[in-house]
Amino acid sequence: MNYVILGNGIAGVTAAETIRQLDDPGQITLISDETFSPYCRPMISNLLEGAVDLSRLPVRSADFYEKNRITPILGTRAVSLDTDSQRVTTKDGQTHSYDRLLVATGADPRPIDAQGLDLDGVFFMRNIENVQQMINTLADVKHALVLGGGLVGFKAAYSLLRRNIAVTMLIGSGYPLSMQVDETAGQIIQQVLEKNGLTVRTGVFVTAFEGKKRLRTAHLSDGTRFDCDMCVIGKGVFPAHGFVPEKSIDTDAGIMVDDNMQTSVPGIYAAGDVAEHIDIARQQPWVNAIWPEAVAQGRVAGFNMAGYPVAYRGSLSRNVIRIFDTDLMTAGRVSPRDTDEACRFFSASDPARGTYRKLVFKEQILVGFVMINCIEQGGVLTSLIQGRTPVDIAEHNLLDPGFNVSRLMGRLTR
Amino acid sequence: MKQVIVHPERCVGCMQCMLACAASHSKTGTLISAISESPRPRPRIHVGAGLYEEGFPNRCRHCDPAPCQMACLPGAIYRQTITNTVLINPDICINCASCAMACPYGVIRYHADPLAPAAKTIAVKCDNCIARQHRGQIPACVEVCKTGALTFEEMDAAMKKKTDQVARSICAEAVPADNAPGFSLLNTVKRAEKEINLLR
């Protein structure tokens, strides 16, 4: 069997490993744009922060490709896919035929509509190369601008603050992480960042960047100018499936996959940030571009590609962030844009412990939560959402600080 | 290979397992000297209170595949196959709490640990006392448990014992067997107290 995997992110890497475990003689080719050996993408913000150095980012040993007998083709990306002749063409003009194909091409940062994007000092934050370039310019950066209050913008702002750089964040909605959390939690974490030097401005965006070669000034939508020597654009990502023929392969925001991570074309699979499956909390198709789902999807795709049918149960949006002395964990539907009047909300806060917890139920099923500090039991709540387990105990049991897994098993232990 | 088996119905919530665990994961290894160590050793087994204040010794199940291992960003969590133990490499851990979000049992804690690089906050959880086992001892929590809520047995034998108990209790003639009558009484009292308080 001849397997071709597009992308050396964690979905592609996990799939390759899984295939190798199950199909020893199979031929595996891995094609990727990024030449760095498989690394932990979420940790690029730790790299920017200076908390870890480059040597800590690889998540597989240097001989990963050799050891797993994978043929790596790095520094190029797929530009077209012919599903009839089962061939992928890459940017360097080569074609590669496959029996089974995995599209794990991830996502690309969403550009903004502004002039001067090519100036030095204007960055996206998606890969190691981006962050290395950022670090190289940090020495003479006094004031940084971060566009977007989502996860990328948030982590970029935090990392720069830790480097003692003044940061101004421009966000479109009323508070940071508005896609992930409710307003109360959003305000709490905004205050934490503000206490540490962040300035937040809402309702303005950048119309143009100005400077000779290096960024010096940003022009804002309210007509004012803003002097800065660095800008990080964190306005989201979009799944990188531009090369996929949409007339044969169903695509929505991402590439649609079934429970076996197979696309609408038999033999072609998708996993990771590029794939769209069912969101467990929302019960509708959704792209959840997060690390643990990329691992899970890569694993399931690998099983199925090697001929072992394994089903994927759906993905769940979730995140955990530690900033200064504050921890935030969130999963599922919490943001007002994800909830409706059919949802039941329960919340509790304890100023003495600095905690805040909010649970979102749909009937007896937990569909989302956010917690600030004391996050150790968050995984128990996450697994309640993932299992769609009806919760038949009073909600305060889940909210109070003594919550632990035994409360859910009370009925079983007579 | 023997494993720690938890019998929650026999737990009285005395928390001696927590003390023994902390002491055995200290630098000095004994309770009397462990209490003056810095950082203070902390337990890796956690006795939580259930709905009716009944005790429950909550420890790592060493799941396979382990959700924490799959969620770990820097790849610090790994499985030692010979002891079937999921371990965290304190040097690689970055304290990102991705494992807290993944663990369905909530058994991972985050703090500086006597056995980790100094002053580094890391994820800490049960290691099956592999150091003790290596010396021919059984896990500290089991050794100290007075009520039989924690036992160290071959999994197959433990399963067989449990199956036999269930089999005996489903005979049409049989009254459901109470395997731990004293504990049931204790828990019934606790439950009654709790319910009466709730009604107040």
Instruction: Tell whether B129 is within 8 A of chain A (Cβ).
Output: no
Query: Cβ distance A91 to A81 under 8 Å?
Result: no
Instruction: Give the ipTM of the model, two decimals please.
Output: 0.92
Report d(CA B161, CA A74) in Å as an integer: 56
Structure confidence at residue A414 (pLDDT):
39
Structure confidence at residue A53 (pLDDT):
93
A390-403 pLDDT, tens digit per residue, is: 998 999 999 988 89
Give the number of A-B residue pairs with CB atoms closer than 8 Å: 118
Average pLDDT for A95-101 = 98
Instruction: Tell whether B124 is within 8 A of chain A (Cβ).
Output: no
Provide, as residue numbers in chain A, all residues whose Cβ is less than 8 Å from the Cβ of B46: 404
How sure is the predictor about A273, in pLDDT bands with cuts at 50, 70 and 90? Answer: very high
Which of A50-59, A403-412, B98-107, B185-194 is predicted least confidently? A403-412
Query: Cβ distance A127 to A110 under 8 Å?
Result: no
Report d(CA A51, CA A198) in Å as an integer: 19
Report d(CA A58, CA A268) in Å as an integer: 28
Cα separation values, A222 from A143, A144, A208, A338, Å: 20, 19, 12, 30
Report the sign of the C-alpha dihedral through residues A19, A22, A25, A26, in that order: negative
DSSP codes joined into one string, A220-280: ETTS-EEE-SEEEE-S-EEE--TTS-TTTS-BSSSEE--TTSB-SSTTEEE-GGGEEEEET
The shortest CB-CB distance from A404 to any of B9, B58, B98 is to B58
Longest dimension (CA), chain A: 75
Distance of CA A50 to the CA centre of its chain: 21
Sheet-wide strand order for A27-32: A70-74, A27-32, A2-6, A100-103, A268-270
Closest residue, chain A, to B59 (C-alpha): A405
Provide, as residue numbers in chain A, all residues whose Cβ is less than 8 Å from the Cβ of B13: none
Report d(CA B155, CA B126) in Å as an integer: 18
Q: Nearest to residue A5, comparing CAs of A98, A86, A101, A140?
A: A101
Q: What structural domains and CATH numbers belong to chain A?
A: 2-108+238-305 (3.50.50.60), 122-233 (3.50.50.60), 320-408 (3.30.390.30)
Structure confidence at residue B195 (pLDDT):
81
Q: Taking 70 as the threshold, does the pLDDT of residue B176 lie above it?
A: no
Q: Taking 70 as the threshold, does the pLDDT of residue B177 lie above it?
A: no
A179-189 pLDDT, tens digit per residue, is: 999 999 999 99
Closest residue, chain A, to B176 (C-alpha): A414
How sure is the predictor about B191, in pLDDT bands with cuts at 50, 70 and 90? Answer: confident
The answer to whether the CB atoms of A406 and B56 lie below 8 A apart is yes
Count of other CB atoms within 10 angstroms of residue A359 = 26
The answer to whether the CB atoms of B95 and A322 lie below 8 A apart is yes
How sure is the predictor about A383, in pLDDT bands with cuts at 50, 70 and 90? Answer: very high
Please identify among residues 289-348 of chain A the ones whose CB lies closer than 8 Å to any CB of chain B: 291-292, 295-296, 299, 318-320, 322, 327, 329, 331
How sure is the predictor about A412, in pLDDT bands with cuts at 50, 70 and 90? Answer: very low
Report d(CA A271, CA A19) in Å as an integer: 14
How sure is the predictor about B16, in pLDDT bands with cuts at 50, 70 and 90? Answer: very high
Average pLDDT for B28-54 = 93
B135-146 pLDDT, tens digit per residue, is: 999 999 999 999
Q: What structural domains and CATH numbers belong to chain B?
A: 1-59+129-200 (3.30.70), 60-125 (3.30.70.20)
A136-162 pLDDT, tens digit per residue, is: 999 999 999 999 999 999 999 999 999
The answer to whether the CB atoms of B8 and A380 lie below 8 A apart is no
Closest residue, chain B, to A395 (C-alpha): B51
Average pLDDT for B73-80 = 96
The answer to whether the CB atoms of A292 and B110 lie below 8 A apart is no
